[in-house]
């Protein structure tokens, strides 16, 4: 019954979208006609008294003038060349250590810099480009929705956001969705929702538990839940009520939980930034049982490990444990900023209009892309390929681990594979980039291989070959 209602809603959304497109087409034609009429009458007006005597020469002069004007515009458009001579280090706040020529275009598994150098992209923009670069379905949607409407704000619904939310509900445990712009905002909202639910029961039920090496974002709430002291230096005081326990340590978690009245437990079923660490099934089961018993909202942060990355649509499916809230972002918007909080009714029912909001969240263009991404990554055939290709990549990297003593071991699931090195791998990451392979450091000494989910065996072979030659050179 529920699914039926949803389908009807989706169908309705599609139908009214078609109607909107048709009326937009009509309006466009009408406005074109009106503009043509206006231009003609303006021309006629201009041509009347003073210019009656004007000769052909004047028209030629006018034409020349407009050519000069156009040339000036072209010159202006070419200006970025001069702008690019500025060293980026001089004009950016140094929040990242980065260098090299800027990237200018991409296609499939490859991305190219302004010097024309080609890179095999096994970082996918930190697990964002699940469909690779310039995927035709996304380009088509980008153009089509761009022509319809680009922004509406959340004072109104827009069709792509309804369609996307309906799909997220259809494919998950959740019954309600909140759309935002990024991972940190999704976690920020999730923590607020959980605290709203908690403090409704008791004013002291606001505590939040998270785990070592987790990463939840850079805004104050999400950052406070990020149990990595290095990110907290020099920016305090942080909000009250955040507690930490070692990842996968059931006893420690229980002792901490017993100490306060908790509103939320937030955990990544598979830690990405922390170094590709999987939560054990027993750990997740314990958290679920404890959360249920004490009416705590269990939040799974699947911002990096969700949406097909591990070979199932949601990473938590593999444990059989279901959260009350799940946060998504990264690949959701097909490369555009988009985040989501998925939750059960018990959580959503504690939220009233005005409790939370966002101007840009659920942007129609981002959601139109998100809708396509969900269609593609929820396909069973693609998910099976992710599992198979992930095993293939892991197998190949394990062979290298046996060959190079600098490699400690390989871990990960699906297409999120970590190569644990014995030392800091930053130089090795740079060496890979020099050789045309993009990979990303995670935690203290892990290298992440997270290619787009569309990767094939040929590109896996190529990536491993480059990695091997970088290991040899290091
Ligand atoms: C698991 C997880 N949560 C949250 C975030 C924060 O996402 P964003 O950078 O979009 O704010 C990240 C980013 O790396 C992440 O990996």
CB-hemisphere CA count at 13 Å for 85?
A: 4
Instruction: Give alpha helix (H) positions in 157-216.
Output: 159-170, 183-201
The verdict on residue 44 lying in a domain is no
Q: Would you say the CB of residue 164 lies under 6 angstroms from ligand 1?
A: no
Residue 448 lies in a domain: yes
C-alpha of residue 106 to centroid of ligand 1, in Å? 23
Which contiguous run of DSSP H or E holds residue 109? Answer: none
Pocket probe mutation, ligand 1, options 123, 187, 216, max atoms within 8 Å of Cβ: 216
What are the helix (H) ranges across 78-112? 80-83, 88-91
Distance 222 CA to ligand 1 centre (A): 9
The residue from 378, 396, 419 where one domain ends is 378
Tally the domains of the chain.
Answer: 2
- Residue where one domain finishes, among candidates 337, 353, 378: 378
Q: Does residue 231 share a domain with residue 192?
A: yes
**Which residue out of 224, 270, 330 has the highest number of ligand 1 atoms within 8 Å of its CB and is therefore the one to mutate?**
330
Gap between the Cα atoms of 322 and 327, Å rounded: 13
441 & 352 share domain? no
Report DSSP state, residue 140. H
CATH number at residue 466: 3.90.1150.10
Give CA angle at 338 (284, 418), nearest 5°: 50
What pLDDT does 322 receive?
98
Report the pLDDT value the prediction gives residue 70, as an integer from 0 to 100.
36
Is 187 part of any domain?
yes
Ligand 1 centre distance from Cα of residue 217 (Å): 5
Ligand 1 touching residue 309 (CB < 6 A): no
Question: Does residue 183 have its Cβ closer than 6 Å to ligand 1?
Answer: yes
Residues 396 and 455 in one domain: yes
Q: Which is the closest atom of ligand 1 to the Cα of 217?
A: 6
* Distance in Å, CA 241 to ligand 1 centroid: 21
Q: Is residue 36 part of a domain?
A: no
* DSSP codes of every residue in 303-367: TTTTTTTTSSSSGGGGTT---SEEEE-GGGGBTB--EEEEE-HHHHTT--TTSS--SSTT-HHHH
**pLDDT at res. 305:** 98
What SS3 state is found at 240? coil
Give the number of the atom of ligand 1 that is nearest the alpha carbon of residue 272.
Answer: 16
Q: List the structure tokens of 40.
A: 């003609």
Is the CB–ligand 1 distance for residue 217 below 6 Å? yes
- Domain end call among 361, 378, 395: 378
Tell me, in angstroms, the distance from the centre of ligand 1 to residue 218's CA: 8
pLDDT at position 85: 78
Shared domain check, 350 and 214 = yes
Q: Within this chain, do residues 150 and 288 fall inside the same structural domain, yes or no?
A: yes
Q: Check if 215 has its Cβ closer than 6 Å to any atom of ligand 1.
A: yes
Give the residue, by CA position, lying nearest to ligand 1 atom 9: 183
Q: How far is the CA of 319 from the centre of ligand 1 (A)?
A: 22
Q: Cα(183) to centroid of ligand 1, in Å?
A: 5
Q: Could you tell me if the CB of 188 is within 6 A of ligand 1? A: no
324 and 388 fall within a common domain: no
Same domain, 260 and 404: no
Q: Could you report the per-residue pLDDT of 74-99, keeping only the tens digit for each?
A: 333 344 444 567 899 999 999 999 99
Enclosing domain of residue 255: 136-378
From the CA of 199, how far away is ligand 1's center (Å)? 26
Q: Is the CB of 273 under 6 A from ligand 1?
A: yes
Asked if residue 285 and residue 249 are part of one domain, the reply reads: yes
What number does the ligand 1 atom closest to the CA of 302 have?
Answer: 1
Question: Could you tell me if 451 and 354 lie in one domain?
Answer: no
Instruction: Report yes or no on 451 lying in a domain.
Output: yes
Q: How far does the centroid of ligand 1 lie from the alpha carbon of residue 309, in Å?
A: 14
Give the nearest ligand 1 atom to 271 CA.
1
Asked whether residue 30 is domain-assigned, the answer is no
CATH number at 256 reads 3.40.640.10
Question: Which residues of the chain register pLDDT less than 70?
Answer: 1-84
End-to-end CA distance of the chain: 60
Residue 83's pLDDT is 59
Examine the domain organization and report whether 372 and 396 are in the same domain.
no
Over residues 106-151, the pLDDT tens digits come to: 999 999 999 999 999 999 999 999 999 999 999 999 999 999 999 9
Whether 347 is covered by a domain: the verdict is yes
* Residues 343, 193 contacting (CB under 8 angstroms): yes
396, 352: one domain: no
In a domain, 5, yes or no: no
Residues 291, 399: one domain? Answer: no
| 159 close to ligand 1 (CB < 6 Angstrom) | no
Residue nearest to atom 3 of ligand 1 (CA): 216
């Amino acid at each position: 019954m529920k699914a039926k209602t949803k389908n009807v809603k989706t169908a309705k959304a599609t139908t009214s979208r078609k109607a909107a497109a048709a009326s937009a087409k009509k309006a466009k034609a009408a406005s074109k006609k009106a503009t043509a009429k206006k231009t003609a009458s303006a021309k006629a007006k201009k041509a009347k008294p003073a210019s009656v005597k004007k000769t052909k020469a004047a028209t030629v002069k006018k034409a020349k003038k407009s050519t000069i004007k156009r040339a000036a515009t072209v010159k202006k458009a070419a200006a970025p060349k001069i702008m690019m001579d500025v060293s980026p280090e001089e004009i950016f706040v140094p929040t990242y250590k980065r260098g090299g020529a800027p990237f200018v275009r991409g296609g499939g598994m490859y991305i190219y810099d302004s010097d024309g150098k080609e890179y095999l992209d096994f970082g996918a923009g930190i697990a964002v480009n699940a469909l690779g670069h310039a995927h035709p379905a996304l380009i088509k949607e980008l153009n089509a929705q761009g022509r319809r409407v680009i922004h509406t704000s959340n004072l109104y619904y827009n069709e792509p956001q309804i369609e996307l939310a309906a799909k997220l509900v259809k494919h998950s445990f959740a019954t309600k969705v909140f759309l935002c712009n990024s991972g940190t905002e999704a976690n920020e909202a999730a923590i607020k929702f959980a605290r709203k639910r908690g403090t409704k029961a008791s004013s002291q039920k606001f505590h939040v538990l998270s785990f070592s090496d987790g990463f939840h974002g850079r805004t104050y709430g999400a950052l406070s839940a990020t149990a990595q002291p290095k990110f907290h230096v020099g920016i305090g005081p942080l909000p009250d009520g955040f507690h930490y326990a070692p990842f996968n340590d059931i006893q420690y978690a229980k002792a901490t939980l017993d100490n306060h009245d908790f509103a939320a437990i937030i955990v990544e079923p598979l830690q990405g930034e922390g170094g590709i660490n999987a939560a054990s099934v027993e750990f997740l089961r314990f958290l679920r049982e404890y959360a249920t018993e004490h009416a705590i909202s269990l939040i799974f942060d699947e911002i990096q490990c969700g949406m097909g990355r591990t070979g199932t649509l949601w990473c938590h499916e593999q444990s059989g444990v279901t959260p009350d809230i799940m946060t998504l972002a990264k690949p959701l918007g097909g490369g555009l900023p988009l985040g989501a909080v998925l939750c059960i009714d018990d959580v959503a029912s504690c939220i009233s209009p005005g409790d939370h909001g966002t101007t840009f969240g659920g942007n129609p263009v981002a959601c139109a892309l998100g809708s396509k991404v969900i269609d593609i990554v929820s396909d069973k055939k693609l998910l099976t390929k992710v599992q198979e290709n992930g095993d293939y990549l892991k197998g190949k990297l394990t062979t290298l681990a046996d060959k190079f003593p600098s490699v400690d071991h390989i871990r990960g699931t699906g297409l999120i594979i970590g190569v644990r090195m014995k030392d800091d791998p930053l130089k090795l990451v740079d060496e890979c980039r020099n050789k045309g392979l993009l990979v990303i450091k995670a935690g203290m000494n892990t290298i992440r291989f997270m290619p787009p989910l569309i990767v094939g065996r040929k590109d896996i072979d190529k990536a491993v070959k480059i990695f091997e030659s970088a290991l040899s050179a290091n």
